[in-house]
Structure 1
Amino acid sequence: MQQTRDISFATPRRTELFDDLVDLFLGAGFRHLTLDEIARRLKCSKSTLYTLAGSKEQLVRAATVHFFRRNTQIVEDRLASTAGSRERISAYLSAVGHALSTASADFMSDLDTFPPAREVYEQNSRIAARRVQELIDEGVAKGDFRHVNAAFAADLVSTMMVRIQQGAVRDQIGLDDASAYRELASILTAGIGL
């Protein structure tokens, strides 16, 4: 498998194309779209798409990476402007839920059935779980939370994030992704509070 081209040195036009690509995929999914259809919807040529990635599979993976990079910055910015241990965990998980709330059921289904994109999602879920673990550890150190096994709590968060991503929470309970993340934050912070 070829490496996905690095988009960290993207030009404004490439960034705009990736933003448009992400928006297209979030709304319509991607499995059913051909490169011709993607180019038509983005109002660009197929050769332009090939400057972003060497194949449709690589394009989907690169767009998924772009989605998470873009939203990681938004989530971290929200976290940076939030004080208080409980509030920081709630802000973090709510921001993650908000970022994912823009994804259609088609996108989430396609993501789950396309291993390269699912791998990106799962990697970001692990990163998010580690971030929650750090936030719990910070809260315990400050005396805002009771002493808990932060790794276990982070694993619990990670497990729920996967269930949310797979649509299990939506299908079985009826909560949309954003609401599920808010509930997760509420239960977690109440469970570790003093």
Structure 2
Amino acid sequence: MATDTSFATRRRGDLFDRLLELLLAEGFAQFGVADLAARLRCSKSTLYTLADSKEQLVAKTVTHFFRSATEQVEARVAQESGARAKVIAYLIAVGDALSPASDAFMTDLHGHAPTRELYERNTAAAARRVGELIADGVATGEFRDVNAAFAADLAASMMSRIQRRDVAATTGLDDAQAYRQLASILTTGIDAAGG
């Protein structure tokens, strides 16, 4: 019985991965469930085993995306030592995790209330995580005694602008470049040796 459950779990994960790849590349507003099933070469009933409606299917897929991205980002942070290296790794890993998202996906994400809410919650969680990393650096003396919540809020504001493609429009930087710049400016600004 455990083997059947394990297979079903792997199959669902694979289907979510394939669906996510499609949505990241092309967005989701223009697709109906029949379109998604045709593109994924599965039946509509197979998709309905994942969710009861297109709205739920998109929300679950976006949740899957953010969960996978968080795991990737945290794995990168775990490889680093020192607060500065961890903050830099975190911000660059966020940029890397989001790099597969096309403009169409980001437009649909922002234009659809449930997915926009998921995005906002994940950005808030990222800001809290950056705040924790900065607070750790303040505690160890690696960073100046700055308000970690403010520094995290500053980072979150820029992260939102990067993800909305505002930074690309105003500076020409792609997301990965923008995250590297944010990491450099933020960590240099709070570095204990610099201030």
The letter of the residue matching 2:111 is T
1:60 matches 2:66: no
The match for 1:46 is 44
SS in 1 for 2:49: helix
Q: Displacement of 1:32 after TM fit?
A: 0.7
Correspondence 1:28 to 2:65: no
Read off the aligned partner of 1:143 and give its amino acid letter.
G
Extract unaligned runs of 5+ from structure 2: 1-7
Which residue does the alignment assign to 1:94?
Answer: 92
Runs of 4+ in 1 over 3 A off after TM superposition: none
Over aligned residues, Cα RMSD in angstroms? 0.9
Distance 1:88 1:107 in 2: 28
In the alignment, the residues of structure 1 paired with residue 49 and residue 92 of structure 2 have an alpha-carbon distance, to the nearest angstrom, of 35
Superposed counterparts of 1:19-168, under 5 Å: 19-168=17-166
TM-score for the superposition, normalised by structure 1? 0.93
Name 1:15's counterpart in structure 2.
13
TM-score, normalised by the number of residues in structure 2: 0.93
Q: Secondary structure at the match of 1:67?
A: helix
Paired-residue identity, %: 58
State the partner residue of 2:186.
188
Distance of 2:21 and 2:133 partners within structure 1: 30
Say how many residue pairs are matched. 185
Q: Answer with 1 or 2: which has the greater Rg.
A: 2
Q: Deviations over 1:130-172 (max 9, x none)?
A: 0000000000111101000100011111111111121111111
Letter of the aligned partner of 1:139 in structure 2?
A: G
Unaligned runs of 5+ in 1: 1-9
